[in-house]
Each structure stands twice: as structure tokens, then as C-alpha cells.
Structure 1
Amino acid sequence: MRGVAGTPASSGGGMTRMPTSLDVTDFGAVPGSRSDAGPAVAAALAAAAAVGGPVVVRFAPGEYHLWSEGAARRELYVSNTVGDDPAFRVKTIALLVESVDDLVVAGEGARLVLHGVQTTFAVIDSRRIRVEGLEFDFAVPTVVDATVVDAGVEEGRAYRRIRVPAATLFSVEGASIRWHGETLGSGEVAWSGRDALEYTQIHDPAGRRTWRGSNPLFERVRSIRPAGERDVRIDYEHAEEPSDLGLVYSMRSTTRDHPGGLVLDSSDVTLSGVRFCFLHGFGVVAQTSRDVTVEECEFQTPPDSGRHSAGFADFVQFSGCSGQAVVRDCLFDGPHDDPINIHGTYLRVTGRPDRHTLELEYPHPETAGFPQFSPGDEIELVDRTTLQAITSATVRTVRQPSGRDHDRPLRRIVVTVDAELPDELVGRAAAENITLTPAVRIVGNIFRNVPTRGVLVTTRRAVLIEQNRFERTEMAGIYVSCDADEWWESGPVRDLTIRGNEFIEPGGPAIFLDPRNTRCDPGQPVHSGVVVAENRFMLDGVPALDAKSTRGIRFRGNGIVRHGPATPDVVLRSCSDADIEAGVELEDAQPPESPVQSPAGESHA
């Protein structure tokens, strides 16, 4: 699809022709103006949809402002956001590509600044779409980055002076701070919250680490007063001298009311060279789409902005996708959750009215409302405690939510299948659509200032994670789960190659194979076919590999440099047929019979 921007391209029917070129300035967009460019952008995209063939919509270099009041609105249900909460069913979208084929949206040197709370872009029901060169940012990000620039004790009381970025809006109200978004045309502010908000992570610029933790800024406060345009002085009731000079407290709410970007029910979609300076909500989500590529993109705040948080949660998520999921040559710096997460969705079995019918439900409150099956898809039922397959069948018919309205129950799905179903599935089993599982390539990326894991992946098709650099992730660099109890993110791995990567001082096992089965049998593993080869590990008190319930691990040709306490290079639990190079200490600890809880700090908040 690269050729569409400047060379002849196919319209899909075998005929090749030069693409039509449209410029948003021809539809009234004025680069450099703070007036709303949204209507002009929407008009250019509508004209592109009417062309009926290859078309390029261009943004001339400059800054464009997109305001939420005039933006497109769609009722949409997106994985890992707000589930079926009716308060957030309608999403506001700054740049909407809908029901279009063979389109390039190009804008090297163009900066799109969003006002209010919005999804940056959405590609819906479209094919062969390429978005390249644009930069997205928010006028007022919904994360507050507060840096401690001075601290000490005066007259027997502790104090801090915090500094916030120029983009952050606030007002001091007594002994409290109200953080808020812009005032919109309606007179309402886009968002607001007080003091520490609901969630905090801490960034240490000197140590180049980011972690989740408590927030002492607003504990036992005596007074708060402005101390300059962007500084606030906080005085305390105690005399304990603060020890956090230079640290950045990144604060936000926990409501993921929008996806940061969205690729929905689309195919052959590429994001190339796009710069995401901030994503509100839940990252760029590719949902029930096929062949999606994210290449040469940057997820990072602008230099010299005083900001450190480029994302409200994850950066990139693939949910229920198929074909190829590719992420290559990207920079991921400063998320509030996992930079990359690729998974399916387990549904709880709640009924079996007859031998060919299943009643299913979305069990997690943050995921609901979108369709899971089409006739002809293969469904697999697994035991929730062992994650072993019970049976599989082909879907014949399905009644389910549309993902675009609330006319049908948003949590309930009923499927009929071609095979007879066994007894005793209710409460015991979970169901997965194993047709919607992608092959994955994650190559040449950099992960930096990550408070969680670098990559989460659960899919049974081939996965290659190669030549990436994981810098001081606070948890595992690569995390392979699969659970039907907590987040219900489905999928065993069957063919996973982790090769030629660099892991620098991760806070947890560099590679963590951790299926959430509560009953383990080495003869019936959850995962299999894992190769860890030719990687370089720089470790401080953690193993290079910690694996549970996995068959056929091959760990070879890896270089390990250690400092800190002595720790085994590899830890294996309920694993079989492992080929581990000499010098590795193995543990044969049995997992507990009671449900396994997530390690401290590993929530998806």
C-alpha cells in the first residue's frame, strides 16, 4: 500500500490507476489557526469516500485544531474500556475513516491538536487504509505530570514545590487543587478532578524508571498556594522531610471512556510514521480486524514540554484480530499500562439449553457489547481451572450484540454449533473464538519508562518477538498469560520465538510465561513451542525466564550479565521437555491449589 501515496495503485478489481489527491486546505482547513478544522477534515474524508477508488487525503504542514463539540460521534463498544456502561457508550472521534477502501491519509509535518476528550482517529468498516506522517497531541492532556522541584522543612513543617507542564490547567481552591480540561463552547469543562486523582505512577528521570506507587503529595496537607505560573507550594502538617526531589508524579482518573485510536472491523490497515504525543483512554485498539501494521511510529511526549506521560493506559492493543498483527520499528515511551497487548477474549459459559446451544456472557466489567462470532468460526471450550480444551465445534448461528447499538443484551451471546456439546459446562468452561487469532511480528521496537510489562501476547498462531530493546520495564519485559478468571484474555501460545532482544534491568522476570491455570499437570501444559535464543539479558536479582505449565521450551545462545543478588537464570514450574543450556538452576515448585492472585502491582488499572 506504500505505492498509493505517489504511484499507481489498484482499486481492488484488478485495474490500476493513479490515486486522486485531495488536500484538507481545499475544504477550509487553515493550518496555524485555532479554529476548528474538524468540519473541513470530515468534508475531505467524505469526498474521498465518494471517489470510489485510490485516493490520498493530505494535510499540508502546520498545526490543526480539532474540537470535540463538532466531532463525529458513534456508539461503539471497545475491549478493555468501560464495558457496557451507558454513560460512555458514545465515543467522540476527531478523525473518522468509515466505510472507505483504498485510502491514504498523509501529513508529514502536520500536527493535529485535540481539544476536549476524544479518540484521535478511527478506521471503521474499511479496507486498505494507510495513515502516515501525522502527529497527534492534546491541548490539555488528561494525565497530570507533577515534578517535585523543591522540598524540605521550614519552621518545623515539611513542604514541596511541584511544577506542572504549561499544558496542564488547574486552580488552587483552599487546601486543594482542581485539575481540569478546557472550557468548551457549552460552558462546561472537558474534565476535572482533585488532588491525587484516582491513580498515580512515579517517574524517576535520573534513574530512568517508572513504577506504580502511592502518592504522598496530598497527604496531611496544611495549605496549598500558587508559587508562580506553573508552580504550586504544598505545606504539610508534619515535619518529615520529603525524599522525592526530582520525581514526577503522574496522576489520572481510571475511567477509560474512549479508545485512544481505533481500527474496527477493518482489514489491511497500516499506521506508518505517526507520532502520538498523548493518547487519552485506552491506546490504539485494533478490534476484530485483519492484517494491521503499526510501523515506525513514536509514542512519546514532545521534547521540552515538561510532560512524561504519553498514554492514559496501553499504547497498542489487538483484540480478537486475525491475519497478521505487526508492530515494528516503533518507540514506546511513557505509557500508563502495557505498550503492546495482543489477546482474544474468553466468554463464560452460563447455559447449555440443548446439545447444540451455548449461552455465553462477558464476565469482565470493562469488556462487553461487541460481537464475537460469525457462522463458520471455530469455537473452543476450555476448563477454567486447567485451561485445557474440552471440545471444539463450528458456529452455525449466533445471537449477539452488534457493537454499534444497545438493541440487544450487551453481555449475552447465544451460539448454536455443529457438534454435540458435553454436559457440565456451566460454571466450569470458558469459550474462545479460535478463528480470530492473529500471527504476530514484534520487531525492532524500543520500550522505555514502562510501569508494567513491555509486551503481552496470547495467541496460538506463530509469534516472533525479535531485535527489540526493553529498558527497565518495572515488571516483565515479555509476559505470556492466558486466563479465564481475572481479565479473561484468552489464548495459549503454540509457536513463540523470542530472539535477538535486549532486556535491560527489568523489575520482574525478563520473560514471564504465566498462564493462570490453578491446576497444573506437566503432561498437559497450557503453552508450548517456546524458543528463547540469542538474547542479551542485563539482570539485577531476577531470572531471565520464569515459566509455568509450558512444554518444549528451548533456551539457548543467550548472554546474561548479572549484578545484585544471585538468582537462577531460568525458573521452570510444571514444565516438560525443556532444553536449557548448562548452568541453569531449575525449580520444581508445585503451584497452589487455590486460585492464583496477580503479583502485587500487576493490575491493569
Structure 2
Amino acid sequence: MKKLIFIFSLLVSFSGFCDKPGEVIQVKKTAAITEDATPYVLKKILENKEAKGIKFEKGTYHFYPDKGLTKFVYISNHKDVFVNLAFPIDGFKDFTIDGQGSTFIFHGKMIPFLVDNSENVSIKNVTIDWAMAFHSEGEIIAHNTEEHSFDVRFGDEYPYEIRNGDIYFIKEYYEHDLGQTIIYDKQRRAIAYNDKKFSPIATSQKSTVQHGIDQVKYKYKVDKSDLTLRKVGTESRLNLKQVAPGVVRFYNHKKQLPPIGTILSTKGQQGENRVAPGIRVNNTNNFHLTDVTIHHAGGMGLLVENSEDIYIDRLKITPSGDRMVSTTADATHFVGCRGFIKMTNSLLENQLDDCVNIHGAYQEVVEQLGEKKLGIRMGHHQQEGYVIGKKGDTIGFVKIDESFTPFDKLTIESIERVNQRYQVITFKEKIPKEVVQGDYIENISAYPEVLLENNKFQGNRARGVLLSTPKKAIVRNNYFHSEMEAIFLPVESSKWYESGATSNLLIEGNTFDNCNFGGTSRGIIRLVTDEDNESIAFNDITIRKNIFKMFDNLVLEASNTDELKFEENTILSSDRFPQLYPENPAFILRSSKNVTFKNNDFQGKATKMMESDKSTINVDFQ
């Protein structure tokens, strides 16, 4: 009996527990826990909702989905999926997850941290990785120019099988086909220079046999990019075969053959390949992320929706081991947030999409259901399930083909989500007669102030920072080396339905190091809308005291802008890459006014400084 009591005491001391409100759950590094921590951690989280945190003894902990909590999750800009959870942080207050330097290795389709409906939550001192990546990588090892084919060698960490000429990569609890691809430079450990010449690998072409498709009609507007309709009118183009164990030959590639020695990254079909973000935060106030490393995620690294006051310090998103890719989508993404977003001293690199994307959401008016009630539709299939606001929020009405400025505003009384695409909003006031089907709405209350300072953004596909907020924003003392534009101020109304005309933005003291090396003709800083009108979208933009290292010409591209100042910047010529667009000017202006260039030190290659259209007025170039 004494032996049993002694053994039980040892188990308690090594495992740790918390049964009293206000205490911290202690997790000890025992083999019983570290080999699969999911059941133990989940049990402690669910049983101790009044706890003030959970703290791990430093070590490596594995998390498997088999004993996790299953939950269906609508996730912005991802595929909406059932996922298994070890950390369902739902309805918590004043709660801290402290890894104390631990590494958490996940297996299969899990969201490491799902934070919902909470307040004052912190995650710190932890590294997140996956045992098997959600993407795959292989090295280009040979060409056959006569048949326009190339060979790729895939290592043992990327097992595959070939089915009817298509390749499928087999993971734990998951698989993906070729889908979206891009080429990495092995030596630079970044997206390859002028990668648009070689990638993406074309996997489909226009179908050759159809019958009766035009007879399929829809009563309501449909999204032709959704996961079903997008397949209509296409057929497989590629043909693959294994020529040696681990070596696959690719036939029927449309573009130039990718250079030998580069790395092909593949992650499966768009719309299907974002299933497991690293950290997802929703409807939460005051969230802190400190000293966290995310080596990988099957989607975005950090996704925050409808939350307020987000503080990020010393976040590292970087691949582990020999992988070229970190996260398979954006490093960080913020939708419909308010209050303050602050990111400092962070490294975001090698992910397969943007470093930072901050925006609101447009939704479309379907019908008026009463004098205070509207039916609203989600525009993009990856916006499904997103709730645009809450009681008391101010909704602006926009006729997007005419203006980016709301023509009227109302206050939300309630929102009913009927299904993933369709919601009913009841307002406190009567709906103006000017509101008609097809108008857009945006939540004026759901935009944040932003500070991005002392960060490093590099090596990734796509852009550095996308910023869409009418509130005060500062981008200061950051380093950029991105495949496409470094800073993009968009109004992406036609495809992604992302809202947020920008004003009161300061871009200061940054270094832009040979960005836009992927092959697109775009400005390093770019202010562009989806709409073909002359309405002002961007106001009060100051770009000053930055350093631009330019292998190419185009520094700034701005449209639909009022009160733009470009001053005290240094533009240097660089020979890091060959020029791609020597005919470009240094600056392009469209539909803009009150633009000032002064006290800049220009040492770039461009022989033409400025290109503008007739609708651009009041430009002072000194």
C-alpha cells in the first residue's frame, strides 16, 4: 500500500495538475506526456477554464489528432474544415500559455492554438512545427529540351505515389496533389529570381469535350472560383512518370524549364491546401504573442479575425531543417480587427504568401427584407462563415464602381447567419432608398491602428506588407526583400472582397533591398485598386527617409491617391540581379492629386523619372 501511495505521489509530481481557480497548470516532461501530449493537455484545458495559464517544462512535445477535440471551424482565407485540437482556448480570461522554450511538434490536420471569445490571452516561449510538412519540395536535376521535360528528385521526407499520370504526396492524415508550385533558389534560400518565367507549373488546360454545360442555370449569383465550379471547363494538362526511385519526370510544362539545382515547391490545389493555420484567434480582446517561432503550418502562421488589440513581439516564422518553405500561406493575416495591431522585432521569411496582410471585408447586398433588414452575401468562397460585425458597429454602404467612400452609414442591431454564404443584418435605422442590390457594405468600426517596426520580411513568395485601414498606421525601420512589391495598399474588391481604403500612413526609415525580383512589373511601394474609376482611395500617405536598393527601375506606383509625400528618400542602383524592365520610369501616377517629391537622393538606373495620366494633377517634383 505504501508503494502504491509513493508511486501515485511521483506521478502527480511529474505530471502536474491544477484543480483550483486562479492557478497555473503545470506540465512536466514525462515520456507518457511528450510522446503524445494531446489527451493530457486537452483534459487539463477543458477541466480548468478558470486557470490563469498552462506552463510546460522545457522539452519536445508531440501532438497527434487522434485524441484531440474535433471542431468544425470557419477560417478566413482558408478551407473551412473539421480540425482536431489540443488547445481549445474558448471563453478564457487572463490566460497564458508558456512553453518555457519548448518545441511542439504537430501531426496531421490540427490547429495548434485556437483562441475564441477570450480576453487577455498570451502565448510565449514556444516553437511550433509539424513532423511532416503540408507541402513538398524537390530539386530540379535534369532537362530534356527536345521533349521539353524536366526531372525532379524528391527526398524520403516527401513520399509520393503516381496515379494516372498525376502525383500525390502522402502525409500523416493528409495528402496533396501538385497544385500550386513555385521555384526557390537553393543558394539564396529565397524565391528564385524571375521565377515567373519557370513557374507555376501548369497543371490544367481548357477542356476539349463538353456537352450541355450552357443549360446549367443559377437563380442567384455564384462564385465561379469556388471548389466545385472552378473545375468546369478544365482538364489535366501534365503527365508525370517515375524514371528512378524518388525521381519524377514532368511533361507538358508550358513555361521555360526551371533551372537545374533550383527547388520546386508544391502544395496542392488552391482552395484545398489551407487547412491548418499555426495560430487562429477570433473574437478576442488583448492578445499577446511573444518569443514564438513557427517553423511550419498548413496555411497561415497567425490568423486573427474580429479581434481587438493584438501585440506581437519577437515572432519568428522561418523554416526548420533543410526545408525551403515555412508556412504555406501568409505569415500573418488580420481580418476585421480593431483597436491596435503592433508587431515589433520579428522575422517573417520563406512563406508561400504575404508577410503581413491587414484588411476589412466587403460583403454584397442581395435583397432588402424590411425597412431595417438586408440579406447579405459573402463574395469569395474563402470568406464563408465570416461575420462582418456585431451589435453597435457602424456599417458603410459603397457603390464600388463609383467611389470607395461610403455614401451612407447605419448601425447594426443584430446579425443572423443563415448559412455559410448568406446572412441577414437588422439595423437600428431605416435603410436609405439609395441602397440597391449589388452595393457593397463594410464595417467602419472594424479597422485598427497599426505599428510595424524593426521587423525583417524576406525570401517569401508575393508581397511584404498589405495594409488596408483608414486609421493611423506606421511602417518604420523594417527590412524588405520580397518577391513582389514590398508594401501594397490595395482595394481588392473584385476577387478577394477585401476592404479598407488607406489614410494617415507613414512609411519611414525602411530598407527595401532589391524587391520585386520575381518577374512582375510593379512598384516597390504600390497603391492600386481593382476598380477602373478616378475616385480617391488613399489619403495622406508619407514616404520618407527610406533606402531603396534597386536592380530595376520602378520605385513607386500610385493611383487614386490624394496628399502623397515622397521625401528625403535614397534610391541606390544595385547589380544584385539583371534588370527586367529597363523601359520603366522610376515613378508612375494615375488618377492622383496633390503629390510632392522633394529632397530625394536618386542614384537609380531609370532614365525617365515620372509617368502620369491626364487625371493626375498638382504634382510638385523637386
TM range (shorter): 0.7 to 0.9
With over 3 angstroms needed to count, the CA separation of the structure-2 counterparts of 1:588 and 1:104, relative to structure 1, is same
CA contact (8 A) 1:384 1:428 kept: no
Aligned partner (choices 174, 180, 193) of residue 191 of structure 1 = 174
Cα distance, 1:191 vs. partner? 1.6
Q: Distance in 2 between matches of 1:515 and 1:445?
A: 26
In the alignment, residue 175 of structure 2 is paired with which amino acid?
S
State the match for 2:61 in structure 1. Answer: 64
User: Structure 1 vs Structure 2: percent identity of aligned residues?
Assistant: 22
Letter in 2 for 1:214: P
Deviations 1:474-520 (A, max 9, x none): 21101111133221100111111111111111113111001222211
1:214-253 alignment runs, 5 A limit: 214-215=200-201, 221=240, 223-226=242-245, 231-232=246-247, 234=249, 244-253=259-268
Change (3 A) 1:381 1:159: closer
SS at match of 1:453: coil
Does 1:509 pair with 2:492? no
The residue that corresponds to 2:110 in the other structure is 118
Task: Provide the secondary structure at the position in 2 that maps to 1:42.
Answer: helix
Q: Answer yes or no: is 1:415 the counterpart of 2:447.
A: no
Q: 1:65: Cα distance to partner?
A: 0.8
Instruction: Classify 1:220/1:373 alpha carbon distance in 2 versus 1 (closer, same or farther; 3 Å).
Output: closer
Q: Is the 8 A contact 2:167 2:240 kept in 1?
A: no
What pairs with 1:146-295 in structure 2 (closer than 5 Å)?
A: 146-148=138-140, 150-151=141-142, 160=151, 162-164=153-155, 166-171=156-161, 177-182=167-172, 190-194=173-177, 197-210=178-191, 211=195, 213-215=199-201, 221=240, 223-226=242-245, 231-232=246-247, 234=249, 244-253=259-268, 254=270, 255=272, 256-295=274-313
Structure 1 Cα separation of the partners of residues 114 and 552 of structure 2: 43
The CA deviation at 1:272 is 0.8
Whether the 8 Å CA contact 1:57–1:104 is kept in 2: the answer is yes
1:101 corresponds to 2:96: no
Q: Per-residue displacement from partner, 1:270-326 (whole Å, max 9, x unpaired)?
A: 111111110112332111111112220111111xx2211111111111111111112
1:453 matched to 2:469? The reply is no
SS at match of 1:133: strand
Going from structure 1 to structure 2, the CA distance change for 1:415 and 1:236 (only over 3 Å counts) comes to closer
Contact 1:133 1:272 in 2 (8 A): yes
Q: Superposition RMSD on alpha carbons, in Å?
A: 2.9
Tell me the matched-pair count: 535
Normalising to structure 2: TM-score of the pair?
0.79
**SS of the residue 2:100 aligns to:** coil
Which of 7, 17, 26 is 1:23 aligned to?
26
Cα distance, 1:63–1:554 mapped onto 2, change above 3 Å? same
What is the TM-score with the length of structure 1 in the denominator? 0.82
Which is worse superposed, 484-493 or 40-49? 40-49
The question of whether the paired residues in 1 share the 8 Å contact of 2:115 and 2:282 is answered with: yes
The residue type equivalent to 1:277 in the other structure is H
**Could you tell me which amino acid in structure 2 is paired with residue 340 of structure 1?**
V
* CA gap 1:176/1:264 in 2 versus in 1, 3 angstroms: closer
Which residue of 2 is the match for residue 570 of structure 1? 587
| 1:2-33 Cα shifts (integer Å, max 9, x gaps) | xxxxxxxxxxxxxxxx973332228x7746x4
Take 1:162 and 1:174, find their aligned partners in 2: how far apart are those partners?
A: 19
Segment of structure 1 superposing worse, 422-431 or 139-148:
422-431
1:384 and 1:485 in contact (8 A); partners too: no
Q: Which one-letter code corresponds to 1:322 in the other structure?
A: R
Instruction: Report the 3-state secondary structure (helix = DSSP H, G, I; strand = E; otherwise coil) of the residue aligned with 1:282.
Output: coil
Runs of 5+ in structure 2 lacking a partner? Answer: 1-20, 204-236, 517-521, 603-607, 616-622
For 1:301, the aligned partner's letter is P
Query: Structure 2 vs 1, CA of residues 242 and 489 (structure 1 numbering), >3 Å: closer, same or farther?
Result: closer
Shift of 1:243: 5.8
Residue among 297, 307, 316 paired with 2:315: 297
Q: Does 1:579 align with 2:596?
A: yes
Cα deviation for residue 171 of structure 1 reads: 4.4
Structure 1 residues 573 and 41: CA distance shift in structure 2, 3 A: same
> 1:326 is matched with which residue: 330, 336, 342?
342
> Contact 1:460/1:495 (CA < 8 Å) preserved in 2?
yes
Cα gap change, 1:111 to 1:375, in 2 (>3 Å):
same
